Structure 1
């Protein structure tokens, strides 16, 4: 029996090409699913490069292979200041953006795994709130938020489109 060794760490510029492939595949999946999310040229290689250079990009490794990606930003998302609704808390928070799992790794529960790693990361930073948003038609992510105990808080706007905003306060 082989054991799986997961690691969650900051992405490096050397990871860029493989992460971009993961994101491109995720963009195509959103399109195939009929979702409008990520169909407007975002995210793109420049966004990813900025994530990495700013220290926002994180990878999930399985036995040293990149199987997932996300961007984590501490206490900063201007769109979240104008929420139509109300956040659960006003404390420090981690913002989650651009969650994507490698095409050949789907169905293994890795989206849940990456979300668990994000919670662990927040706790390591002594941050007890995680905020995120997704399109109204990104049903896999909406289901994941519900399954993991995130609360719907209202709507935020990105590039002119309303998105559902969620928060989870960690105990």
Structure 2
């Protein structure tokens, strides 16, 4: 089946929220503290969509995954304990989640590939992201996809591992 990557629509919020609720539960079952404090929530998703930052990976009419993508918009990244690989424009993504029905198909990597294409289409060659220290699945994906550990950033009082991937122009 073909997957498509598109901007999320406000009518997608309920389906996206269901996907995120399952991801929140999986984080907890994995022993992670990530997303166990009421974030993200439906208001966060709605805000992503209103800012044109919410994106979905679809299989036909079914939403298989979600993420939020921003350009040069992550204030916490200015205060990294460490050093980014680049200092220019960057794309940052947050809240990657794959639907329960689509787990084990490598779709998180598919979403990251779509984010990298999003960046290159805008002539931006840096993708930055962060994750919890105990999110083993995301840490493995970063490693497999060529992201480089750059240091720590802080969100809501907690340290997170920060990564960057420099993209080639081709």
* Number of equivalences: 168
Q: 1:9 aligns with which of 6, 10, 21?
A: 6
Aligned-residue CA RMSD (Å)? 0.6
Aligned to 2:35: 38
Aligned to 2:24: 27
Shift of 1:134: 0.1
In the superposition, the TM-score normalised over structure 2's length comes to: 0.98
Shift of 1:5: 1.5
In the alignment, structure 2 segments of 5+ residues that lack a partner are: none
Aligned to 1:64: 61
Q: 2:108 aligns with which of 98, 108, 111?
A: 111
Deviations 1:15-42 (A, max 9, x none): 0000000000000000000000000000
In the superposition, the TM-score normalised over structure 1's length comes to: 0.97
In the alignment, structure 1 segments of 5+ residues that lack a partner are: none
Deviations 1:96-121 (A, max 9, x none): 10000001110011111111111111
Q: 1:77 aligns with which of 57, 71, 74?
A: 74
The whole-number CA distance in structure 1 between the counterparts of 2:52 and 2:9 is 9
Aligned to 1:169: 166
The whole-number CA distance in structure 2 between the counterparts of 1:13 and 1:153 is 34
Matched, 1:154 2:124: no
Matched, 1:140 2:137: yes
Aligned to 2:120: 123
Which runs of structure 1 show a deviation greater than 6 angstroms over 4 or more consecutive aligned residues?
none
Deviations 1:61-112 (A, max 9, x none): 1123110000001001010000000000011100010000001110011111
The whole-number CA distance in structure 2 between the counterparts of 1:64 and 1:151 is 35
The whole-number CA distance in structure 2 between the counterparts of 1:127 and 1:14 is 30
The whole-number CA distance in structure 2 between the counterparts of 1:7 and 1:52 is 17
